Amino acid sequence: MTDHDTIPVLAHDLVKRFGDFVAVDHINLEARAGEVVGFLGPNGSGKSTTIRMLCGLLRPSAGQALVAGFDVARKPEQVRRRIGYMSQKFSLYNDLQVIENIRFFAGMYDVPASVLHERTEWVLYMAGLVGRESTITGTLPGGWKQRLALGCAVLHRPSILFLDEPTSGVDPISRRRFWELIHAMAAEGVTVLVTTHYMDEAEYCNRLVLIFQGRIVASGSPTELKQQAMAGELLLIECDRLGPALDLLQQVPDARHVALFGKALHVVVPDAQTGIPRLRAVLSAHGIAVSRIEPIRASLEDVFVSLTAQLSGQRT
């Protein structure tokens, strides 16, 4: 779907300032055809701002971004014809019927009359709304609305798709279905850039970009990230009196990134072989009974927590 020679998304030293605040700080980025790139980061880290600049909704303060080969600052209209965008806010018209929303956005994107019928059918099918064309959009359940929003954003078959927290407020099953759609599109060569909060969603991405305070702090496939970011082995500890145990472990020199996960603690140590007996000894010495202590595979959430903690300058 994309010209073979152009890289769909290319950002070079992209900066966005709002007054004195630097929301996006020299971001460099490249996304290839058919790639699903996930933007991960805490609230206010600059994910949405980056996406909005790439869509031509915000003007970059410095740097350059080429989307579908066009400069977003200079040729936003050319960019807009080739991209689809869906934001965290549900942005269809709630007071219009399903079919009226589809027709409206088809009109906005100049979908040719010859394919209008076929595209409309496709969106209805994809969103599971066949037979509910004249339902008022606002009365649809969240997951359906959001699939409809996705359908409306891709009516013109864009080669690049920007999704800004597309699944916030949607139930897990709908989320899974949504991601199946995304992968189907990526398989056809669509480049997808998506921001998310959900760690399980991040696992669906081919490549992840971790953004913190406006900068890219890590990037790679989910597997690569887990390996490079942890620098040590992750232990899971189940014990009684979690609070005192947490305080205690934070005093142990070799134990890093001590964090509470549900009813257990996660701790990173340089080596599991020597780490396990040492931590067990420390805890028992203070009368804390350890029921389980073993190495586990780091989840993306661990990576995320440990990276943001390191960058915030707190040694936990």
Partner 1 sequence: MLRRLHEMLVKEFIQVFRDTRTRTLLFVPPIIQMLIFGYAATLEVRHIPIAVLDYDNSQVSRELLSRFTASPYFDVRTYLSDRREIGDLIDRGEVTVALQINGGFAQDLGKGQTARLQVIVDSSNSNTALIAVSYINQIAARFAQEFQRTQLLRTSPFAPSQMPSIVFERRPLFNVNFDSQWFFVPGVIGNLILVMVVSLTAFAIVREREIGTLEQIMVTPIGRLEFILGKTVPFFLIGLFDTALVSLVGTFWFGVPFRGSIGVLAIGSILFILCMLGIGLFISTISRTQQQAMVSGFFFNMPAISFSGFGTPIGSMPEWLQTLTYLNPLRHFLEVLRGVYLKGVRLDVLWPQMVAMGLLGSIMLAISVARFQKSLD
| Choice from 85, 178, 179, 212 touching partner 1 (CB under 8 A) | 85
Nearest-approach distance from CB 228 to partner 1, in angstroms: 35
Angstrom distance (rounded) from CA 219 to CA 215: 11
CA distances in angstroms from 235 to 240, 259, 272, listed in the order given: 16, 11, 7
Nearest-approach distance from CB 43 to partner 1, in angstroms: 17
Site for partner 1 in 34-53 (CB under 8 A): 52
Nearest-approach distance from CB 207 to partner 1, in angstroms: 23
Angstrom distance (rounded) from CA 315 to CA 134: 56
Question: DSSP strand E in the chain: where?
Answer: 9-18, 21-31, 36-40, 62-67, 70-71, 83-86, 160-164, 191-196, 207-212, 215-220, 233-239, 256-261, 264-269, 290-296
State yes or no: residue 74 binds partner 1 (CB under 8 A).
Answer: no
| Choice from 30, 42, 69, 100 touching partner 1 (CB under 8 A) | 100
**287 contact partners, CB below 8 Å, separation of at least 6:** none
State yes or no: residue 225 binds partner 1 (CB under 8 A).
Answer: no
Site for partner 1 in 145-164 (CB under 8 A): 153
**Secondary structure of residue 275 in the 3-state scheme:** helix
| Choice from 69, 76, 142, 220 touching partner 1 (CB under 8 A) | 76
* Comparison of 81 and 315: residue with beta carbon closer to partner 1: 81
Rg of the chain over CA atoms, in angstroms?
23
| Choice from 83, 161, 265, 268 touching partner 1 (CB under 8 A) | 83
Give the binding site for partner 1 (CB under 8 A): 18, 52, 55-59, 76-77, 80-81, 83, 85-87, 89-96, 100, 103-105, 107-110, 153
